Amino acid sequence: MLIVTVGSEQHLDTPDELNRTRTGYRKGMTDRELYQAARGSWVLGEKADGEHFALVAHRGAVLLAIEIHRLVETAPGRRAIEGSILLPGDEVHDAYVGKPVPVESYGNPVRYFDAPVGTKPCRCGCGTSLRSGKFVAGHDAIALHERVRRIGSVAQFIDWFDSMVEPFERSARRQRSDGPDTL
Ligand SMILES: [Zn+2]
């Protein structure tokens, strides 16, 4: 699990890479406002890509829990979380929100810890629970080949795949050539 620590609210003279004019925590802000204030931009290493959940902390307390959908680049070397805010009743929310931060910060605004809650099933469908990552090692290949098998041979799978993505690629090309940014 990822933990990001935010300071107190600061006003910015110019909008930052997330188009914000203020960041950090202010007493009374809504969960949505805190999510916007805390989702980036962070220096997130490869380890972050396997994380399912993020906690937002301020002054030693967890204020918000986020289910991570993806990490998006916001500036060179910096990324932001895109996800959904967890509500009461969710096991990760209930285990951490409103409680002391589960690990010491040592001054680093981004930390990781092995949480006993917040697992997700392996995407291959085998039923194994994972604390991070989408697949048990090797199960990504199993999941892929199971789909190939459902179509037929590898050659048939490629034909099918190409026929499925071709309309999207054609439409993307058309949008690009219609766009105002075309060189
Ligand atoms: Zn699996």
Question: What are the boundaries of each domain within the chain?
Answer: 2-118
* Distance in angstroms (rounded) separating the CA atoms of residues 151 and 161: 10
What is the Cβ-side half-sphere exposure of residue 117, based on CA atoms within 13 angstroms?
Answer: 13
Q: Provide the pLDDT for residue 157.
A: 95
β-bridge partners, 56? 4, 64
pTM: 0.78
144 Cα to the center of ligand 1, angstroms: 11
141 Cα to the center of ligand 1, angstroms: 10
**What are the angstrom distances between the C-alpha of 30 and each of 26, 39, 53, 98, 154?**
9, 14, 19, 14, 50
H/E stretch holding 167? helix 154-178
* Distance in angstroms (rounded) separating the CA atoms of residues 31 and 9: 14
Q: Provide the pLDDT for residue 57.
A: 95
pLDDT tens digit sequence for 40-92: 899 999 999 999 999 999 999 999 999 999 999 999 999 999 999 999 999 99
34 Cα to the center of ligand 1, angstroms: 35
68 Cα to the center of ligand 1, angstroms: 20
pLDDT tens digit sequence for 169-178: 888 888 777 6
* Distance in angstroms (rounded) separating the CA atoms of residues 166 and 156: 15
130 Cα to the center of ligand 1, angstroms: 9
Q: State which residues have CB under 5 angstroms from ligand 1, the bound ion.
A: 122, 124, 126, 136, 139
pLDDT tens digit sequence for 83-134: 999 999 999 999 999 999 998 767 789 999 988 899 999 999 999 999 889 9
Burial 163-181 (b: 16+ CB within 10 A, else e): eeeeeeeeeeeeeeeeeee
26 Cα to the center of ligand 1, angstroms: 42
Q: Residue 182 — pLDDT band, cuts 50, 70, 90?
A: very low
